């Protein structure tokens, strides 16, 4: 496992859903662990931002989670109002899974407004959810977010090899967690389709698990280790590549 001294990257974690949220922010910063604290509604962003802005290594992303659009879709207006205050956007996107399919049209309208706002503002970094909706997400990115206006990072991508190739062609990045690398199908897609210089790591804690517990940012070393094994390079080199990728993404 890569040592914490290697400055790991957790580019998608719901820090504010942990009971020790404030302590976890301080813990990530003290460890030099680059962490993107995604939010699920615009109303949650301010508290995250206020805590993260006092750190060097944690940033807060402004989100409107597709799974919450049925009840919180009206907060898109607040999202648009807050967007000038942040460079980071997430969690946003589409979820066409059985539990959320009924709200898909509303999700599409909300996501369209997110993309249009980011295209207009420019220089945003988006962490995007695409469960059972990779083609729809890519269609909307292509239609509403011209390449070069902002960057899309596909979080916990679960689409097909063809969809992954299309995402690469559209300039998308990918944040990879340990659960993805445990799937033979997904690990093969990552290894054979996704350029190594478009890869970041994530935990998606507390939704992802690390044994019997919720995955925490420090657990992202397992994804780094699994990626290193998949690409056949030392763990330390993989960690450095991911940090270099992060620097390229946000530069």
Q: How far is CA 248 from CA 173, 200, 238, 242, in A?
A: 11, 11, 15, 10
Report pLDDT for 217. Answer: 98
Report pLDDT for 3. Answer: 45
**How does pLDDT run across 196-251, given as a tens digit for each residue?**
999 999 999 999 999 999 999 999 999 999 999 999 999 999 999 999 999 999 99
Q: What pTM, to 2 d.p., does this model score?
A: 0.97
7-250 maps to which CATH number? 3.20.20.140
Which of these, 226, 167, 220, lies nearest to 36 by C-alpha position?
Answer: 220
- State the binding site: 12, 14, 91, 129, 155, 204
Q: Are 140 and 164 in contact (CB under 8 A)?
A: no
**How does pLDDT run across 23-79, given as a tens digit for each residue?**
999 999 999 999 999 999 999 999 999 999 999 999 999 999 999 999 999 999 999
- State the binding site for a divalent metal cation: 12, 14, 91, 129, 155, 204
Structure tokens at 111: 């996501």
Q: Where are the domains of the chain?
A: 7-250
Question: CA angle 45-65-46, nearest 5°?
Answer: 5
């Amino acid at each position: 496992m890569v040592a914490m001294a290697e400055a790991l990257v957790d580019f998608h974690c719901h820090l504010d859903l942990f009971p020790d949220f404030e302590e976890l922010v301080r813990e990530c910063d003290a460890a030099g662990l680059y962490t993107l604290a995604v939010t699920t509604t615009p109303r949650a962003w301010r508290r995250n931002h206020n805590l993260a802005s006092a750190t060097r290594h944690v940033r807060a992303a402004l989100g409107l989670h597709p799974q919450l659009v049925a009840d919180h879709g009206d907060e898109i207006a607040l999202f648009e109002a807050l967007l000038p205050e942040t460079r980071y956007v997430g969690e946003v996107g589409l979820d066409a899974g059985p539990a959320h399919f009924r709200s898909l049209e509303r999700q599409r309208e909300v996501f369209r407004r997110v993309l249009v706002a980011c295209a207009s503002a420019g220089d945003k970094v988006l962490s995007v959810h695409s469960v059972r909706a990779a083609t729809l997400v890519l269609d909307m990115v292509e239609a509403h977010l011209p390449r070069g206006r902002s960057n899309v990072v596909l979080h916990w991508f679960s689409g097909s090899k063809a969809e992954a190739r299309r995402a690469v062609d559209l300039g998308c990045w990918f944040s990879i967690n340990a659960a993805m690398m445990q799937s033979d199908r997904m690990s093969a897609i990552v290894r054979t389709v996704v350029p190594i210089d478009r890869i970041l790591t994530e935990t998606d804690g507390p939704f992802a698990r690390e044994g019997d517990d919720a995955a925490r940012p420090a657990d992202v070393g397992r994804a780094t280790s699994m990626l290193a094994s998949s690409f056949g390079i030392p763990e330390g080199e993989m960690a450095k590549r991911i940090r270099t990728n992060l620097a390229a993404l946000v530069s």
